[in-house]
Amino acid sequence: MVDEGTIKGWCSGRFAGYFNMDTMHTTHGRAIPVAEGLKLVNPKLNVFVVSGDGDLIGIGLSHLVNAARRNTNLKVICLNNSVYAMTGGQTSPTTPRGKKTQTDPLGCPYELINIFEIVCKPYKRFYARVTPLTKDLFFSALKWGVSTENFAFIEVVFPCYENDYRRLGYKKATEAMKALSNQLEVKGEVKNLVSNQLGIVKDYE
């Protein structure tokens, strides 16, 4: 069960505080090269990168694409709330067209960047798109991602209630999560995904 506090508190910058593990905070947009450096220095380390859509798909996109191209053994978890939530709810690279944000009050005029299409599909890397409510799919994705010796990407889609959905008129974080979930289709294990589908891709057509 995902409660109000869980949905409100999903922030990549606070992730390290919830888990007992060795962690490192990096400059915004540079999490991937730092992680690759750690892996090069000590290949035995199981290195995870936990970051937001603004960090990974905005300023850090070139690093992310090249890590996938090189097939660096990193496990990348992207907490995607489709806005720059930490700085107030501005349009991000994964904001859907038409969505109202702080910087696009009439609706985002651009098509979003589909992470699967540009990061994982060209190089046939492991990819999953899940939400906090698709628990079985979420844990299955983690299991597959951790077990591979190759690059793996897990996109966790969820609403930022405090700096986004509350401004849009939602009264509770769980209400926002349900509204977002209604826009998404659960596909399970597949060979291809479009932007409104949840699932796991480990084999390609």
Q: How far is CA 12 from the centre of its chain?
A: 9
What is the phi/psi pair of residue 57, to 5°?
-100, -15
Q: Taking the domains of the chain in order of start, what are their residue ranges?
A: 4-201
Give yes or no for residue 163 having a pLDDT over 70. Answer: yes
pTM of full prediction above 0.95: no
Give the integer Cα–Cα distance in Å for 35 and 26: 9
Provide the strand spans (E) within 40-144.
Answer: 48-52, 75-80, 83-84, 90-91, 126-130
Give yes or no for residue 1 having a pLDDT over 60. Answer: no
90 exposed, middle or buried (CB, 10 Å; 0-12, 13-18, 19+)?
Answer: middle
Residues in the chain: 205
**pLDDT one-digit tens code per residue, 78-116:** 999 999 988 888 999 999 999 999 999 999 999 999 999
| Check whether domain 4-201 has CATH 1.10.1660.10, yes or no | no
